[in-house]
Every structure is written in C-alpha cells, then in structure tokens.
C-alpha cells in the first residue's frame, strides 16, 4: 500500500514538474508547482518525516507559492511569446542539465547500496524540537531569524516606489 502511494506520488511529482518547465503561461506553472510540492509532502510523510511533510504544505505550498501567485497576479503576466530562444542557449541548457544529472547520478551510484534494513527512526515533532533547540543548532536557528528579518526589510526596500 505504501509502495503504491509512493510510486503514484513520485509519478505525479515528476509529471507536474514537467508541466512547470513546459508551460508558457507562468500561472499554470505555479499551479503545477503546487501539485509537485503537495505530492512531495506525501513522499516526505512516507519516508517517516511528518514534521517536514506538514512544513512543506504550510510553508512551501502555502506561504511561498501564495507569494508567487500574488506577484503573478499583481504584474498581470502574459504568456511567453512563441519566438523560441536562440537555439544555442536551449541546447546549452539541455546539455548542462544532463551533465548535472549525470554527475549527481554517479555520486548516487558510488554511494554504497546497503541492503541492510533501515535503522529505527523517530522524527516526531517532539524529537525534531529537541534536536533543533539543542546547543548544536540553537545559534544557527537564531541566525535564521536574523536572516528572515533582513529578507523582510530588504524586500520592502526593493519593492518600494522610490529607491
């Protein structure tokens, strides 16, 4: 049952990712990306990470994608024109994507494929909080709050009428 759900969600994620990069209309791309993010959230849950799965829906599919849709509607974006990009650049893009994929793939293959059963794993919200607020990660966590503040101020300054 879990396996079927995993492969269905993986197929949906890849399919809607293809729609994201294949669509000329950014609005459809955004909606396809929301589908990708939600099916990835199911995969996170299947991999035993309920906290990350919920975070994925709330932060990614909720907050970030709403921000994207908000800007898309604010700017009344049109579809891309039919004129294709210069052929050289498209070819270079495909080549670079393939090379990236190949390099990452070799790395993944080089990793030892252990058939050993997976270890016991408890990623409940309680355990996550214990790790996140342990002295090991506490200062990093505080640093992210400064990052968020900087991003907030930066976004307001950048989007203001007069710079």
Using CB under 8 A as the criterion, what x/- string covers residues 61-100 for binding another protein?
--xx--xx--xx-xx-x--x----x---xx-xxx-xxx-x
64 within 8 A of 155, measured Cβ to Cβ:
no
Backbone angles phi, psi at 64, to 5 degrees: -65, -45
> Quick one: which of 35, 51, 54, 57 contacts another protein (CB under 8 A)?
51
Where residue 50 falls (left for φ over 0; alpha for ψ -120 to 50; beta otherwise) is: alpha
Residue 134: CB minimum distance to another protein, A: 9
Q: Find the helix or strand (DSSP H, E) in which 75 lies.
A: none
Please identify which residue in 4, 88, 114, 135 interacts with another protein, judged by CB under 8 A. 114
Using the rule CB under 8 A, is 8 a contact of another protein?
no
Shortest reach from residue 74's CB to another protein, in Å? 7
8, 73, 138, 147: which one binds another protein (CB under 8 A): 147
Torsion angle in degrees (nearest 10) through CA of 63, 64, 70, 76 = -160
Taking alpha carbons only, the member of 34, 43, 40, 35 closest to residue 63 is 34
Site mask, another protein, residues 120-139, x = CB under 8 A?
xx-x---xx--xx----x--
């Amino acid at each position: 049952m879990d396996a079927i759900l995993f492969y269905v969600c993986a197929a949906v994620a890849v399919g809607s990712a293809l729609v994201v990069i294949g669509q000329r209309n950014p609005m459809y791309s955004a909606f396809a990306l929301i589908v990708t993010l939600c099916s990835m959230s199911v995969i996170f849950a299947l991999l035993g990470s309920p906290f990350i799965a919920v975070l994925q829906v709330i932060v990614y599919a909720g907050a970030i994608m709403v921000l994207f849709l908000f800007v898309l509607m604010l700017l009344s974006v049109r579809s891309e024109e039919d004129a294709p990009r210069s052929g050289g650049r498209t070819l270079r893009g495909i080549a670079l994507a393939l090379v990236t994929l190949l390099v990452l793939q070799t790395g993944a293959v080089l990793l030892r494929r252990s058939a050993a059963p997976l270890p016991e794993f408890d990623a409940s919200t309680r355990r996550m909080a214990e790790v996140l607020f342990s002295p090991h990660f506490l200062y990093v966590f505080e640093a992210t709050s400064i990052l968020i503040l900087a991003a907030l101020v930066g976004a307001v300054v950048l989007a203001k009428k007069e710079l």
